[in-house]
């Protein structure tokens, strides 16, 4: 029987650290050139769409822009239809969706670019199911990559801790897709490489997200809206359609911490988020439109 290792040009093993979006897509790409791909994640990966510890941003409003959806469709034919079948929402980014720039509405016109509104956990769940179904790709969880294995100045694999056991896993290629928890810079230093010069710029931005049941009259029946912050109004908001007739509303604030909403109770967060998003109203059209939604929140 022919095995995948017989496919011309495919040989060796690749290990991917992290089974989130980047890790799963890396595994899909590597499956074309490596005979075996192992993806390792330290979380217990759920078998349904769910927020998990390693991806805390999963609770926040997410949308997939047209170019990202095209790339995913190329890698996983039929994925767009699967997203829609799972309840994701799609609409034209400028024809059906509203944009407020500098507080004023952008003229609505068909752009031919379809945005897909769905939660981050649903997107990851659908991609993970596709990757798990690839021959010669194995997803291992919960297991943590604790360090790189090296010999003669080359990376030869990783060390993996699962439960009490820690073992080396040899690899011809290691891809670090561990997101902001990546230890790549520390591991590099431990291998004797000089530190990479880094510049840090504080974005001074804060997000909150609250989920609503979507009712047809919200936003005058349009599908969603973005209120882009600008110097006179550093507080903006997104109202994104998500699967199962939900809206995710994400007020954002940028600038000094005095602009941020620092409350912790959900009621207070909601109240402050609402006021962050609508006051002071610098430009009536945007504030009016957002108030239409938030007054029902
Ligand atoms: C508030 C907010 C809103 C956003 N909105 C959007 C949006 O609307 N649209 C959009 O496209 N993007 C959006 N993003 C960005 C998007 O969420 C991230 O770019 C994306 O999740 C990054 O994926 P990743 O795979 O690189 O890393 P992550 O999602 O951070 O995943 C890293 C993975 O590595 C695992 N891991 C870490 N260390 C180890 C280890 N040592 N061993 C094993 N596993 C390990 C973790 O468990 C995790 O699964 C948003 C981000 C934020 C914060």
Pocket-testing residue among 15, 16, 21, 146, ligand 1, by greatest number of atoms within 8 A of Cβ: 21
- pLDDT tens across 212-231, in order? 888 888 877 888 899 998 88
Q: What is the residue-wise DSSP string for 197-247?
A: P-------EEE--EEEE--TTGGGG-S-EEE--BTTB-EEEEEEEETTTEE
Task: Kindly tell me if the per-residue pLDDT of 272 is higher than 90.
Answer: no
Residue bearing the bigger pLDDT, 278 or 271? 271
Distance, C-alpha 101 to centroid of its chain: 24
**Parts of the chain belonging to CATH 3.50.50.60:** 7-62+122-190
Which amino acid residue places its CA nearest to atom 46 of ligand 1?
Answer: 54
CA of 179 to the centre of ligand 1 (A): 6
- pLDDT tens across 9-63, in order? 788 999 999 999 999 999 999 999 999 999 999 999 999 999 999 999 999 999 9
Q: pTM for the complete prediction?
A: 0.85
pLDDT band for position 285 (cuts 50, 70, 90): low
CA of 205 to the centre of ligand 1 (A): 18
Mean residue pLDDT of the chain comes to 85
CATH superfamily of the domain spanning 7-62+122-190 = FAD/NAD(P)-binding domain (3.50.50.60)
Pocket-testing residue among 24, 52, 120, ligand 1, by greatest number of atoms within 8 A of Cβ: 120
Task: Kindly tell me if the per-residue pLDDT of 92 is higher than 90.
Answer: yes
List residues near ligand 1 (CB under 6 A): 17-23, 40-43, 54-55, 57, 60, 62-64, 68, 120, 144-145, 177-181, 207
Q: What is the residue-wise DSSP string for 128-194?
A: HHHHHTSTTEEEE-S-EEEEEEEETTEEEEEEEEETTEEEEEE-SEEEE--GGG--HHHHHHHTTPP
Instruction: Output the six-digit token pair for 229.
Output: 């912050």
């Amino acid at each position: 029987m022919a095995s995948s290792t017989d496919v011309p040009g495919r040989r060796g093993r690749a290990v991917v650290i992290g089974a989130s979006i980047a890790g799963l897509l890396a595994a899909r790409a590597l499956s074309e050139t490596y005979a075996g791909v192992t993806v390792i994640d330290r979380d217990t990966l759920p078998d349904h769409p769910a927020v998990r510890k390693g991806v805390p941003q999963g609770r926040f409003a997410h949308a997939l822009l047209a170019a990202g959806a095209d790339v995913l469709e190329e890698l996983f034919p039929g994925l767009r239809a699967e997203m829609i079948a799972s309840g994701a929402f799609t609409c034209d980014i400028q024809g059906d969706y509203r944009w407020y720039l500098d507080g004023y509405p952008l003229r609505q016109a068909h752009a031919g670019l379809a945005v897909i509104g769905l939660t981050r956990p649903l997107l990851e769940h659908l991609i993970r199911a596709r990757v798990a179904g690839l021959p010669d790709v194995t997803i291992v969880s919960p297991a943590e990559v604790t360090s790189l294995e090296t010999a003669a100045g080359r990376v030869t694999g990783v060390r993996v801790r699962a439960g009490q056991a820690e073992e080396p896993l040899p690899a011809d290629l290691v891809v670090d897709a561990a997101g902001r928890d990546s230890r790549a810079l520390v591991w590099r230093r431990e291998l004797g490489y000089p530190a990479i010069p880094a510049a840090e710029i504080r974005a001074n931005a804060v997000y909150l997200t609250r989920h609503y049941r979507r009712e047809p009259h919200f936003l005058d029946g349009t599908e969603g809206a973005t209120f882009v912050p600008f110097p006179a109004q550093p507080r903006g908001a997104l109202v994104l359609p998500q699967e199962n007739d939900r809206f995710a509303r994400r007020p954002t604030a940028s600038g000094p911490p005095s602009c941020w909403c620092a409350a912790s109770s959900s009621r207070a967060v909601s109240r402050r988020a609402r006021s962050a998003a609508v006051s002071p109203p610098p430009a009536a059209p945007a504030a009016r439109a957002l108030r239409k939604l938030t007054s029902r929140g």
